[in-house]
A and B are shown apart, each in its own frame.
Chain A
Amino acid sequence: MAVERSNQTPAELAAHCVAVREAIMQSAAICGSGHYGPSFSCVEILVSLYYQFMRLNPNEPSWADRDRFILSKGHACSTLYPILADLGFFPKEELRTFTRLGSRLGDHPDMRKVPGVDFSAGALGHGLSIALGMALAARLDESNRRCVALLGDGELNEGQIWEAAAYAGANKISNLLAIVDANKVCVDGATEAVLDMEPIDAKWRAFGWHAERVDGHSLSQLLDHYAEFERRRAEGGPPTVLIGDTISGKGVDFIEGKAEWHIGFLGGVDVERALESIRRTQSAH
C-alpha cells in the first residue's frame, strides 16, 4: 500500500528542500568532495516527486505497484539519499557512512545496496531506457504505476537517450515521465559551450513527446505539471518530458551558476557561508 503524502503544505515542502540541501553539505563534508552544482539544482524536483507525487511505501520498498524513479544523473545521489532516509527506507544515521569504505552509499546509487533505489546508475545515457522498460512492464501488468527518469541536460548529449526517446514517442508510452534538470552546466563548462542541445523542448516534441519548460525550482509549477502528466497518462497520451530550468548550485549563492562548482569542496568558513545562504533562501513555490 502507498503511504499518502499528498497533504504536504507548500511550507512543509520548502522546509524539506532546506533540509536536503543541508544534508548535501554534510555528505560533501564526509566525502571531502561534492557534486554541489548538479545536486543542489535538482532538490525541488526530487522533493516534489518523493514527498508529494510518487506512490511509494518505505516499509515495503519492493512493492510491485509503486511508482519507479530512475536517477539517470546518478551523480546527484546525495540529493536522493537524505530523502530516502527521511522517508524511512534506511536509517538516517547511515548517511554518515556516505562514500566511506564499505558503505552502501556510494557517489552513484546501487539498487542492490540501497533500499528505495529502483536502479543503479552512474554511466550517463542509460536511465531513460531503464525507465522505458519499467513503463513497458507496467503496461504488460496493466498497472497504473508511473515511471519517472531524471536526466541531466548535459546527459542529453548521449545518443542512447534519443533511441529511448524515439521508441517512447513512437509507441506512446504514456506512463513515462522524463524530467530534465537543465542546470546549464556540465563538467567542462557551460552545456552551451560543451555541446549545445537547445532548443531542448523542440527536440523532444520532434520525437513525439509532450514537452513543457518549467521553473525547476518552483514546487507549485512542478506539482501542477505532474498532475497534467497523470491526466495524459490516464488518457493514453504521449510520454511527457518536463524541461526543468534550474540553476547549478541553487541555494548557495556564491556558487550558483558556476561551472567550476560542478564538483568541488567547500570547507571551513565557506561551509558556514553556504549554510547561511541555504537557510536564507526560501524555495519558491
Chain B
Amino acid sequence: MKLVRQPTVLQDEASFDHEGRAGVPARTLGTILSNRADTDSRLVVATADLAWSTFVAEFLERHPRRFFQAGISERNMLGFAAGLAASGYIPYVTTFSAFASLQSLDVIRNDHAYTNLPVRTIGTHCGISMGYFASSHHAIEDIGALRSIPNLTVVAAADLNAMEGLLRDVHDLPGPVYIRFGRGADGPPVYQAPNEVRFGEVTQVHEGRDILLLTTGIGVHAARDAARALGEEGGLSVTVGDLHTIRPFPIERIAALAARHRAVVVAEDHVIDGGIGTSVQQALLECGVDTPVFKHGLRDFAIVGPPSHMYRYYGLDALGMAIVVRRAAERLEQPASTRYREALWGSADMARILAEQGRADLERQTSSSGRFADAVR
C-alpha cells in the first residue's frame, strides 16, 4: 500500500483544532508508534480506513509490513488484532472513539478483555470533538461502557506528550488497553515532555487549595486555563487534576486529593452518568471522604456545531469551566439537600451562548427537551 493523498485541510477558523494545520504535524501518534516499533518487533498497527484521520499514516510509511489496512470494518479489525495478540504481537488499532468503543464493544469485551490479550485500541476524536459530524460520531458514553469491563485498562491522553508517556507505561501490560484521545491537534499542548505523565497517577497541572477540578483528555488544557483565570481574579484557588488513568481508577489518590479541598468539580466531555464523575463519587464514598462532588458534563445527545463552539455551549471550555467552578464554590453555602438540585451549567447558559453566536433563532429548538421538534413541524 502506498501513500495516496494528503489530508484535507478543513478551513474552519472558529474551530481551534483546525487552526494552523497546513498538513500533517511533524510529530504524530504515528511517530510515537513508529519509534517504538523501531526497537520492538512485536508492535503492529491496524486502522479502519482512517490512517490519516487517526494520525498513523507515518507508521504505514516506516513499517509497511506491520501495518494492516482493515477497511471500514472495525469489528473485524479489533477481532484480528486479538488473533495477532494471541500470537505474540502487540497490536495498536485506531479508529474514531465512537466506532472503537461503542460499535465494537462486544469485540473488546469478548476478544480482548475476557481473553486478557494485549491489544491497544486507540479511539481518537473522543467526546464531542467531531462537532458538526453529529452524535453518530460523538463518543460520550465510551467511558461508561468501558469502565465496567474486567481486565481492561482505560486511559485518556490530553496531548501527544501525555500519549507518549502513557503508551510508554502501558505498552508492556499483559492485558488490553483502551486509549481515549482527541483529534491529535487539539490546541496548544498541556505537557512539555512525556515524563510529566505517569500511568496510575493523577497528574496535577495546577496547584490550588479550595476547589479540586478534575477532568481528562481534551478538557485538561481548558481546566488549567480556568484555574489560572480564577486565581488571577482572586478569591478561588483551584487544583487541576488530569484523570488520565480511568481504569483501574486511582481511588486512594483521588480520595486523598479531594480530602484537602472544599469541593470537587468533575468536568467531562461525556455524559455525567457513568463517566469519570461517577468514578470520583464512588471513590470518595468508598474511602469515606465527604467532600462535595459536582458533576459537569453532557446530559443528552449533543447538538452540532464547530467543536470549539460546542465546548463553549456545553461549558467545557476554559470560560465555562471557570463559571462552573465559581458556582460550585457558591453552592457550598447552600444546604446539601438543595446543592445539587440544578445543574451547574443549565439551559439558560446554553441559550446565552447561542445568542452570542448569533443563533438566537435556534434557541427555541435546541434548548427544549424535544430538540428540533419545532423545526420539523
Contact = CB atoms under 8 A, between A and B. Distances in A.
B87 A133 contact: yes
A134 interface: yes
Interface in B67-100: 68, 70-71, 73, 75-76, 78-89, 91
Interface in B103-157: 106-107, 110-111, 114-116
Given A134-B83, A137-B89, A140-B66, A129 B75 contact: yes
A167 B80 contact: yes
User: Looking at A68, A111, A130, which has the most chain B CB atoms within 10 Å of its CB?
Assistant: A130
Interface residues of B, number: 29
A166 interface: yes
A122 B110 contact: yes
Contacts of A133: 79-87, 91
A167 B70 contact: yes
B84 A134 contact: yes
B63 to A, nearest CB: 11
Contact of B84 (A118, A136, A166): A136
Contact of B88 (A64, A68, A110, A130): A64
Nearest to B111: A126
Contacts of B65: 140
A75 to B, nearest CB: 14
Contacts of B115: 111-112, 119-120
Contact of B86 (A123, A134, A140, A159): A134
A129 B85 CA distance: 12
B44 interface: yes
Contacts of A19: none
Given A132-B79, A133-B81, A140-B44, A126 B86 contact: no
A129 B116 contact: no
Nearest to B107: A126
A163 interface: yes
A contact residues, range: 20 to 34
Nearest to B84: A133
Given A111-B115, A129-B76, A166 B71 contact: yes
Nearest to A167: B76
Given A112-B116, A130-B80, A136 B111 contact: no
Contacts of A122: 110
Nearest to A133: B83
B73 A126 contact: no
A132 B76 CA distance: 9
A139 to B, nearest CB: 9
Contacts of B81: 133
Interface string B48-78: 0000000000000000011010110101101
B76 A118 contact: no
User: Looking at B76, B88, B89, B106, which has the most chain A CB atoms within 10 Å of its CB?
Assistant: B76
Nearest to B70: A167
A119 B75 contact: no
B251 to A, nearest CB: 26
A160 B80 CA distance: 11
A118 B83 CA distance: 10
User: Looking at A132, A134, A137, which has the most chain B CB atoms within 10 Å of its CB?
Assistant: A137
A196 to B, nearest CB: 23
A164 B110 contact: no
Interface in A95-145: 110-112, 118-120, 122-123, 126, 128-138, 140-141
A79 B58 CA distance: 46
User: Looking at B70, B73, B89, B91, which has the most chain A CB atoms within 10 Å of its CB?
Assistant: B73
Interface in A45-96: 64, 68
A167 B70 CA distance: 7
Nearest to B65: A140
Contacts of B80: 129-130, 132-133, 136, 164, 167
Contacts of B86: 111, 118-119, 130, 133-134, 137
A123 B71 contact: no
B83 A132 contact: yes
Contacts of A111: 86, 115
A59 to B, nearest CB: 20
Interface string B315-351: 0000000000000000000000000000000000000
A137 to B, nearest CB: 3
B110 A120 contact: yes
Contacts of A163: 71, 73, 75-76
A131 B83 contact: yes
Contacts of A167: 70-71, 73, 76, 80
B88 A129 contact: no
A122 B70 CA distance: 24
B83 A130 contact: yes
Contacts of A170: 71
A137 B88 contact: yes
Interface string B148-180: 000000000000000000000000000000000
Nearest to A145: B87
Nearest to B85: A133
Contacts of B106: 123
Given A111-B115, A140-B66, A119 B88 contact: no
Contact of B87 (A112, A134, A159, A166): A134
A21 B87 CA distance: 32
A138 B80 CA distance: 12
Given A64-B88, A160-B107, 6 more contacts: A126-B111, A129-B82, A134-B86, A137-B88, A140-B44, A160-B73
28 contacts: A68-B87, A112-B115, A119-B115, A120-B111, A126-B79, A126-B111, A129-B75, A129-B82, A130-B80, A130-B83, A133-B80, A133-B83, A133-B84, A133-B86, A133-B91, A134-B86, A136-B83, A136-B84, A137-B88, A138-B87, A140-B44, A140-B89, A141-B88, A160-B75, A160-B76, A163-B75, A164-B73, A167-B71
3 shortest interchain CB distances as A-B pairs:
A133-B83, A129-B79, A137-B87
